[in-house]
Amino acid sequence: MYIILLGAPGAGKGTQATAIAQKLNLAHIASGDLFRQALEQGTGLGRQARVYMEKGELVPDEVTTQMILERMSAPDSEKGAVLDGFPRNLEQAKALDKALAGQSRAIDRIIAISVSEEELRKRLGGRRVCRQCQTVYNIVESPPEVGGKCDKCGGELYQRPDDTAETVKKRLEVYFEQTAPLIDYYRQKGKLIEVGGEGTIDEVTRRTVAALNEGELIAR
């Protein structure tokens, strides 16, 4: 089973992708996390991606698509995966469809999480991420129990360099121009599930799981 999570930066893709992957026992593949990992490891891919990420632009399609397809062919993705942050434009979506079709597979569902622009800005400004386990906090809305430390693993929380005001603005522009059109692309394929992304994390997870249930993707 392959599920795609679509949504603007700050919509909660990562948080929900983690929850769903766990529930359905699927791999969680997050393009942004893979780039950040490459960056930390100082690989060529990381150096290439950095320039784009810092500006809030998309990393070129070819590099990105190849990275994701490689990751999808790892053993833990055999039963399927939840894709978070990919595809992010029409070219990537088509490349993914084509690659899966070549293996007689296809995307099962696309979950589009919608959140108002005002709420997105608030979330991104206050966002802090655990360096070790990638759990996301918000210093205003969902602060950690101990300041600066991850509740789950004690790791150090940091602000992503692309969560600065200027880059956030650019990332939202890129989302509305390039990624949002994918909602129509998948709607036309009859695979889209739309979920309201405001409310508590658990509420959104419940909505998402309920929507997948209706689509009979989860055995009752």
Indicate which of Zn ion, ligand ADP, none lies near residue 153 (CB less than 5 to 8 Å, by partner kind): Zn ion
Question: Cβ of residue 15: shortest distance to ligand ADP, in angstroms?
Answer: 11
Annotated active-site residue 88? The verdict is yes
Which regions of 17-72 does DSSP assign to beta strands (E)?
Answer: 27-30
For residue 88, state whether it binds ligand ADP (rule: CB under 6 A).
Answer: yes
Annotated active-site residue 187? The verdict is no
Distances (CA, A) of 3 to 27, 76, 79, 145: 10, 15, 12, 32
Query: Of 23, 131, 160, 206, which is the active-site residue?
Result: 160
Name which of 80 and 144 has its Cβ closer to Zn ion.
144
Q: Cα(187)–Cα(192) distance, rounded to whole angstroms?
A: 5
Distances (CA, A) of 94 to 9, 65, 80, 105, 129: 21, 10, 19, 14, 31
Q: Which of 110, 129, 144, 109 is nearest to 7 (CA)?
A: 110
> Quick check: helix, strand or coil at residue 147?
coil
Question: Cβ of residue 84: shortest distance to ligand ADP, in angstroms?
Answer: 7
Q: Cα(135)–Cα(157) distance, rounded to whole angstroms?
A: 9
Indicate which of ligand ADP, Zn ion, none lies near residue 132 (CB less than 5 to 8 Å, by partner kind): Zn ion
Name which of 15 and 179 has its Cβ closer to Zn ion.
15
Annotated active-site residue 121? The verdict is no
Query: Of 71, 109, 123, 127, which is the active-site residue?
Result: 127
Pairing of β 109-114 and β 192-196? parallel
Indicate which of Zn ion, ligand ADP, none lies near residue 213 (CB less than 5 to 8 Å, by partner kind): none
For residue 123, state whether it binds ligand ADP (rule: CB under 6 A).
Answer: no
For residue 31, state whether it binds ligand ADP (rule: CB under 6 A).
Answer: yes
Q: Cα(11)–Cα(65) distance, rounded to whole angstroms?
A: 22
For residue 71, state whether it binds ligand ADP (rule: CB under 6 A).
Answer: no
Query: Of 71, 123, 128, 171, which is the active-site residue?
Result: 171
Structure tokens at 212: 């997948």
Choosing from 17, 72, 86, 207, the residue that interacts with ligand ADP (CB under 6 A) is 86
Q: Which residues make up the interface to ligand ADP (CB under 6 A)? A: 9, 13, 31-32, 35, 52-53, 56-59, 64, 85-88, 92, 162, 171
* Residue numbers annotated as active site: 13, 88, 127, 160, 171
